[in-house]
Amino acid sequence: MRPENPGHRVKGAASAGTVRFARRQRQQATPSEAALWQALRNRALGVRFRRQHAMEGFVLDFYCEQAALAVEIDGAHHGERREYDEWRTECLGRYGTRVERVWVGDVEADLHGVVRRIAGWVAEQLGEASPPGPLS
């Protein structure tokens, strides 16, 4: 059974509606999203991340195509959406995308630690022994 959809699932890889939603999300970044974006942008980990990336009808907080890795920042409201988030992760997994989640509180309290975790996930996805970029 498919969980209740909160409204931003659109058919198609990058429909016009999904792209418009992604643009709005980029313009309305939360402080945690903005902080993590500053840490990931400009290939800071040796790979390119996109923020609010439209993919398969979803909008991903951060996406690295090279590593097929999506990073989602979850806040308190995600406790209410657990079933939907699991379904979404499963759907993206069918396309070969690994979805990892970080808590907004972790981003706020330990941004460097979150970035190290993301670097580790990138290394795992790329089959490398150590994380890419300056954290190696």
Give the Cα separation of 129 and 115 in Å (integer).
17
Q: pLDDT tens across 90-116, in order?
A: 999 999 999 999 999 999 999 999 999
Every domain of the chain and the residues it spans: 31-130
- Got the DSSP string for 72-128? EEE-GGGGTTHHHHHHHHHHHHHTT-EEEEEEHHHHHH-HHHHHHHHHHHHHHHHT-
**Biggest CA pair distance of the chain:** 44
Residue 28 has pLDDT above 80, yes or no: no
Q: pTM, whole model, 2 decimals?
A: 0.78
- Got the DSSP string for 9-26? --SSTT-HHHHHHHHHHH
Predicted confidence at residue 102, as pLDDT, reads 96
Predicted confidence at residue 9, as pLDDT, reads 39
Give the Cα separation of 134 and 136 in Å (integer).
6
Q: What is the mean pLDDT of residues 13-25?
A: 62
Higher pLDDT, 112 or 131: 112
Q: pLDDT tens across 36-79, in order?
A: 999 999 999 999 999 999 888 888 999 999 999 999 999 876 55
Range scoring the smallest mean pLDDT among 5-14, 16-25, 51-60, 126-135: 5-14
- Superfamily covering domain 31-130: VSR Endonuclease (3.40.960.10)
Residue 31 has pLDDT above 70, yes or no: yes
